[in-house]
Structure 1
């Protein structure tokens, strides 16, 4: 009876292992662009060539070692160079390299050919989020990690339940119509980033001070995910990419919604805010832009100092305004990213939250004046 139970347990364990192995993917993601299919086929073609070379070379080597071993009575031969052999082992590798380089060059040229775009999106990398500007539609937004903090931090030793798209979900995904050629113009605001969506076979570095471009044309609707694949700092793994490929009708509806949302969120720089209003607005700005480094409780972490009780935060407000606008060290410059109202709100929030009770209110007009100084 015990033996039968042992065999049953072994069979169950083997079945579970084989099932897990079947779910384990060893190849590239299934491409959804023609260029992605070419990259996939090129990868397979080169892998086959390398595998054949491996088998032939090591097969010949091991055969020679085994067949001509001293124990079998063979003696080492004395011979000099052979012109024929020299020519053969020069020509054959050269032909193999040409056979590999020809299709690879065609794919690389196709990747760099960004002509004939149906739409253009400017992509800007920040520590740690992406900025998108639809140059044809006049739409702009930032895309940040949407995975809740409790899912990627272990609170009080308890492992949180994580969803299927853990660390690969964002608050504002990129939306593009299916079957349209999309040109991307990439740059960065601080350090080098890299925009990568494997299903599109697109990977392009975003470098401060430079504009790099690439393109894709998704042939299938769906949600496609990627990541920044350049080591851009401490929280490099916190800036995923999500692209929603939808029908033209859904895309047009999304564009209309985004324009209405932008109009509704447009701040009047001359508006005079009350302290409670500005603190409430500032918390939203802080949670979206600052909490990932300084934490939601303002206690800081690693190279990022605590804001609760900070001399910078409770000191002269002009110093904090200058720091947020111009940045310093690991602190990015927010003058090109946030509006006057958003910066004023963030400063007001930090100066009146946690243990900081300055009672000071910063108005957008003060930030506008500081920009011109």
Structure 2
């Protein structure tokens, strides 16, 4: 963990291990879109054409069809809330001059220029590619740069939901409702990565940005992150707070896809908190225990054919050959019990919503 005011590192565990980023990839896609908006190459109302390739992406998706259009603003909102792969591919094609492959090369070059030295992108969504890898440190750097470089647009990541063609899509990041001070950024999950999360929270003038890779479940990942954030704030003298009441809006209060409704946060600059892999000390009533089990993972024929459908939280997937480490935050009293064996990776033909 890092105090954003002075850059002092508090915790770092396995920050440079290469992992599959899953939907965290969309943070880079959005960063590239923000740059294009800043430079005047596109506007929020610029049409984003949907190709057959983009429409055929595996879920999670908006259900776009070939030949239709959405706006840049709708595409960004679809990425930060629904984590829609079809919208990500369409936006990538727009920014890449019609080619998602070219856009992925642009993403990688820009990531390296930001200091993300161990990251390689192969697509705009996080769908499977054995070569698409990143690290907790690199993703925390990206989270930091989104806040620092685009303070007027970072608030997109705190959007609770948006309505597209009459259907409401809720943000997958539970910390927005469950952790006081949380205001973004992005979740992700695939079988080969575990549950990932980049999060930012601010209390009493202190901002922390954290990256957690390899959670065993979404709930454990969230508890792990909240416990670590609690520890970071407590170590910096920030008083603990009660969990916030769930803040889901009633139907009559639904957010529109208007930039004016999004300008709520994003004015504060933060440095990365890098947390990944092994166990950490007690934090906020939890002790993080390691439940690692190496698993050699191979790209399947389905993945090579571009039609991967493994179990995912976000609909993004990533397959390759690498050990997968899963961590879990459990009540401190139960930490002495032997850790449960991780669930075996699902086959490439299994899908979850």
Q: Which has the higher contact order (CA 8 A, sep 6+)?
A: 2
What interval of TM-score do these two structures reach, taking the shorter chain for normalisation?
under 0.3
Question: What TM-score results when the alignment is normalised by the length of structure 1?
Answer: 0.23
Higher helix proportion = 1
